[in-house]
């Protein structure tokens, strides 16, 4: 092979290498910005593309993934003239590769400076206490302002977080003392409230105890009075029944005496006594009357005519018997 053949073969190999090298593969979540003769040509998305040698070039490779940037602490002054150090964390994402490449030089530095100035403006309108307790408000304001400012750069600011807020050491000492005093105050308040509740519970317990004792005493007195009342009623019933029984017994005794007397009269009447028997019974009656405690006995003048008295008594008894039979 002569020299000319060697040169041609080398040229073919070089051209083949250049041709093959023109193929580009864009990975996932990336965009290539391509220029043609120094001007913007197109954006390559995921896939295989061909870059013409010497006339086309890749101006930039842009990642579409969300990025996190932690910026160094920035000195800021509050409304009440307290200097603090605040560092921020920015979460952003490229949404337009062309604007990101041509919109701003060194976009991260631009975002950092914009974040610092925005933070100073927001903190300058707030006092120290509000700054320490309003992280969400500050984050929302910074996010909104940065998102609007970076929109023309093809950047979307998703979130901004205040990582650390560091007030001066003397302020920290004062805050610690204040928090200590506040905790002691709360402890005393809680202890006082506990003592108060304890005393209230003790008083309520004593009150309920006294009420229960009074109720128990009242119920005992009521039960005792009821028992005495029942006992008196039972005693009265017993006395009443006893008197009824006595009266019933006396009535029965009187009735039996009267019945016996009537029977004796009937028997005497049925016996049809003669005058001598009547005289004898009359004498026995006067004898019994004489045996009594009476100091004086009045004997009728007709005592001598006992036969007439007995005859009169017999007629009376017969008349009485006739009246009973008629009734």
| Helices 169-271, 306-326: inter-axial angle, 10-degree rounding | 120
pLDDT at residue 279 above 70? no
Q: What is the largest CA-CA distance in the chain?
A: 219
Query: How far from each other are the two terminal CA atoms of the chain, in whole angstroms?
Result: 190
pLDDT at residue 11 above 90? no
Task: For the chain, list the strands marked E by DSSP.
Answer: 23-26, 30-36, 39-44, 47-50, 56-63, 67-70, 74-77, 83-94, 155-166
- pLDDT for the residue numbered 237: 85
> Do 20 and 51 touch, CB atoms closer than 8 A?
no
pLDDT at residue 89 above 60? yes
- For the segment 127-181, what is each residue's pLDDT rounded down to a tens digit? 888 888 888 889 999 999 999 989 889 999 999 998 888 887 887 777 778 888 8
Q: Structure pTM?
A: 0.52
- pLDDT for the residue numbered 323: 57
Average pLDDT, the chain: 80
> Do 84 and 166 touch, CB atoms closer than 8 A?
yes
- pLDDT for the residue numbered 304: 47
> Counting beta carbons within 10 angstroms of the beta carbon of residue 43, is it exposed (0 to 12), middle (13 to 18) or buried (19 or more)?
middle
- The rounded distance, in Å, linking the Cα atoms of 255 and 260 is 8
Question: Stretch 199-211: mean pLDDT, rounded?
Answer: 88
Question: Stretch 98-123: mean pLDDT, rounded?
Answer: 89
- pLDDT for the residue numbered 302: 46
User: Which band of pLDDT confidence, cut at 50, 70 and 90, is reported for residue 254?
Assistant: confident
Token pair, residue 120, equals: 């100073």
Question: Length of the chain in residues, anyone?
Answer: 327
- The rounded distance, in Å, linking the Cα atoms of 91 and 74 is 18
Phi, psi of 299 (to 5 degrees): -100, 130
pLDDT at residue 77 above 60? yes
- For the segment 43-61, what is each residue's pLDDT rounded down to a tens digit? 998 889 888 888 888 888 9
Between 105 and 278, where is the model more confident?
Answer: 105
Residue closest to 33 by CA, chosen among 25, 24, 42:
42
Of the options 3.40.50.2020, 3.30.479.30, 2.60.40.10, 3.10.580.10, the CATH number for the domain spanning 67-167: 3.30.479.30
Question: β-strand 83-94 against 56-63: which pairing, if any?
Answer: unpaired
pLDDT at residue 182 above 90? no
- pLDDT for the residue numbered 307: 46
Between 95 and 172, where is the model more confident?
Answer: 95
Of 212-226, 288-302, 307-321, where does the model show the most confidence? 212-226
- pLDDT for the residue numbered 303: 47
């Amino acid at each position: 092979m002569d020299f000319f053949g060697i040169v041609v073969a080398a040229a073919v190999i070089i051209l083949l290498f250049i041709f093959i090298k023109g193929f580009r593969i864009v990975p996932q979540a990336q965009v290539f910005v391509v220029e043609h003769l120094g001007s913007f040509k197109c954006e390559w998305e995921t896939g295989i593309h061909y870059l013409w040698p010497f006339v086309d070039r890749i101006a930039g490779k842009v990642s579409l993934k969300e990025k996190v940037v932690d910026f160094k602490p920035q000195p800021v002054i509050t409304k009440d003239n307290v200097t603090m150090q605040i560092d921020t964390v920015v979460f952003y994402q490229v949404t337009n590769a062309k604007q990101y490449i041509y919109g701003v030089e060194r976009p991260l530095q631009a975002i950092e400076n914009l974040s610092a100035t925005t933070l100073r403006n927001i903190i300058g309108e707030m006092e120290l206490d509000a700054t320490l307790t309003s992280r969400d408000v500050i984050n929302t304001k910074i996010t909104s302002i940065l998102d609007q400012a970076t929109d023309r750069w093809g950047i979307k600011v998703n979130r901004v977080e205040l990582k650390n807020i560091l007030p001066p050491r003397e302020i920290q000492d004062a805050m610690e003392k204040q928090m200590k005093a506040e905790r002691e105050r709360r402890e005393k308040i809680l202890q006082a409230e506990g003592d108060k509740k304890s005393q209230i519970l003790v008083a309520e317990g004593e009150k309920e105890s006294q009420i229960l004792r009074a109720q128990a005493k009242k119920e005992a007195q009521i039960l005792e009075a009821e028992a005495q009342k029942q006992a008196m009623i039972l005693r009265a019933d017993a006395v009443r029944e006893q008197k009824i029984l006595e009266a019933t017994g006396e009535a029965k005794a009187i009735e039996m005496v009267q019945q016996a007397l009537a029977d004796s009269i009937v028997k005497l009447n049925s016996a049809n006594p003669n005058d001598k028997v009547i005289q004898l019974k009359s004498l026995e009656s006067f004898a019994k009357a004489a045996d009594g405690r009476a100091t004086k006995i009045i004997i009728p003048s007709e005592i001598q005519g006992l036969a007439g008295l007995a005859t009169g008594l017999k007629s009376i008894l017969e008349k009485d018997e006739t009246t009973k039979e008629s009734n």
